[in-house]
Amino acid sequence: MRSLELFSGAGGLALGLEAAEFEPVAFIEWDRDACETLRRNRPNWNVIEGDVSKIDFSQFSEVDLVAGGPPCQPFSVGGKARGFRDRRDMFPAAVEAVRALAPAAFVFENVRGLLRPAFQNYVEFIRLQMTHPQFPVSRNLSWEQNLARLERHHTSRDRTGELTYKVSVHDADAANFGVPQRRHRVFFVGFRSDLNAEWSFPMESHSRSELVRAKDVTGEYWSEHGIPKAHRSPRPKASKIFVNEEFAEISGRLARWRTVRDAICNLGDPRKESEFSDHVFQNGARSYPGHTGSPLDEPAKALKAGDHGVPGGENMLRHPNGRVRYFTVREAARIQTFPDDWKFSGSWTEVMRQLGNAVPVQLGEAVARSVAKAIKRAKRKIKSEATIDR
């Protein structure tokens, strides 16, 4: 199956699509350093450096999946949450790609901030545009007026021959899919209506309960890492109750959440020589209220891109003794589940921006595999029914 990815960034979702065996026709990204990252690692990929909103999608044909992460600054707290008033809102460009290519399915991801109550109606506006990509949204009307028009169209009966999609919206925490990071992403997933595809968001594979058990009940987490009792993190008071009441239901079914220590334990001290050229100590990290870094024995806090590189206090490791330092590029890549052979282009600031904007590879792969299976099942069913009719 063939895929087209918009707003590709450093390749987190791209690697997920690759693992799900999608064949890419092109990757479209405006950031020069991100494009160089993609070309550096996959010289055979067709990487188009440019503005997605100015792309002529007619140059692509027979695309099964359109995917991507429209710029999230309009909906993030750090981006001042202007939403539809922000020119960086690129959802209209994503809808245009779906309209032009009529893929079997699409996957678009964004920040959790999009689900805040202030954006509830705008999310419905986005969802209805994706449901009816051929509907003519008027630039002479406000988005609220266009929403009202879309709602009337959506409930009307006269839509014969129209391109439509069955669209669902999901909030996923990457930690529940094996990513050593508490990173919530919102996914818009749609399947072309004529396929009658049967799909549900992939089941979670990892749990907090299992991590609590491994630390506080069996102690296997600490044993695996060779941590003596004197140096282990103190056990929360509610831990025993939490394990007894909640763990019993899922014991043996899910893996434990992965921690920062799980991800970076074999990289060594970045102040010393390393086999990885991007595992290098970066000076200047400091802790202040609200920005205290990620604890070593929990999943990391969500890595962030920031408006001007890495903001002070973000993207830091907090040692058990309270000291903090910035994650190295290789550590941040591991936290985003990029493979060790994936190299990044650009300055430290620009690379950390790429990583802060990326979809965790394992989360992208889980979603991509589920969508691929649903498309294949739907196509096989259609082919089978056509054979029977003959």
Q: What is the 3-state secondary structure (H, E, C) of the chain?
A: CEEEEECCCCCHHHHHHHHCCCEEEEEEECCHHHHHHHHHHCCCCCEEECCHHHCCHHHCCCCCEEEECCCCHHHCCCCCCCHHHCCCCCHHHHHHHHHHHCCCEEEEEEEHHHHCHHHHHHHHHHHHHHHCCCCCCCCCCCHHHHHHHHHHHHHCCCCCCCCCEEEEEEEEEHHHHCCCEECEEEEEEEEEHHHCCCCCCCCCCEEHHHHHHHHHCCCHHHHHCCCCHHHCCCCCCCHHHHHHHHHHHCCCCCEECCCHHHHHCCCCCCCCCCCCCCCCCCCCCCCECCECCEECCCCEECCCCCCCCCCCCCCEEECCCCCEEECCHHHHHHHCCCCCCCCCCCCHHHHHHHHHHCCCHHHHHHHHHHHHHHHHHHHHHHHHHHHHHC
Indicate whether 320 pLDDT > 50: yes
Provide the residue range defining the domain that includes 192. Answer: 2-204+360-389
For residue 286, tell me if it sits in a domain: yes
- Give me the CATH number covering residue 269: 3.90.120
Query: What is the pTM assigned to this prediction?
Result: 0.91
Sheet with 324-326: list strands edge to edge: 294-295, 316-318, 324-326
* Mean of per-residue pLDDT scores for the chain: 89
Q: Cα–Cα distance between 250 and 151 in angstroms, integer?
A: 41
Q: Is 226 left (phi over 0), alpha (psi -120 to 50) or beta?
A: left
**Domain total in the chain:** 2
For residue 63, tell me if it sits in a domain: yes
pLDDT band of residue 211 (cuts 50, 70, 90) is very high
Q: Indicate if 222 and 156 belong to the same structural domain.
A: no
pLDDT at 84: 44
Q: Could you give the residue numbers annotated as active site? A: 72
pLDDT, tens only, 45-76: 999 999 999 999 999 989 999 999 988 554 54
Indicate whether 260 pLDDT > 60: yes
- Give me the CATH number covering residue 54: 3.40.50.150
pLDDT, tens only, 138-150: 988 888 999 999 9
Q: Indicate if 69 and 152 belong to the same structural domain.
A: yes
Q: Indicate if 105 and 188 belong to the same structural domain.
A: yes
* Residues above pLDDT 90, as percent of the chain: 72
Question: What is the rounded average pLDDT of the residues 25-39?
Answer: 97
For residue 200, tell me if it sits in a domain: yes
pLDDT, tens only, 323-377: 999 999 999 999 999 999 999 999 999 999 999 999 999 999 999 999 999 999 9
pLDDT at 307: 56
Q: Indicate if 180 and 299 belong to the same structural domain.
A: no
Q: Indicate if 68 and 199 belong to the same structural domain.
A: yes
Q: Indicate if 67 and 116 belong to the same structural domain.
A: yes
For residue 354, tell me if it sits in a domain: no
For residue 355, tell me if it sits in a domain: no
Indicate whether 280 pLDDT > 90: yes
**8 Å CB contact between 81 and 75:** yes
Indicate whether 311 pLDDT > 60: no
pLDDT band of residue 241 (cuts 50, 70, 90) is very low
Question: What is the rounded average pLDDT of the residues 127-152?
Answer: 93
pLDDT, tens only, 215-225: 999 999 999 99
Q: Cα–Cα distance between 270 and 272 in angstroms, integer?
A: 5
Strands 316-318 and 300-301: unpaired
For residue 334, tell me if it sits in a domain: yes
Q: Indicate if 53 and 100 belong to the same structural domain.
A: yes
pLDDT at 252: 57
CA-only gyration radius of the chain, Å: 22
Q: Indicate if 170 and 42 belong to the same structural domain.
A: yes
Q: Cα–Cα distance between 350 and 207 in angstroms, integer?
A: 32
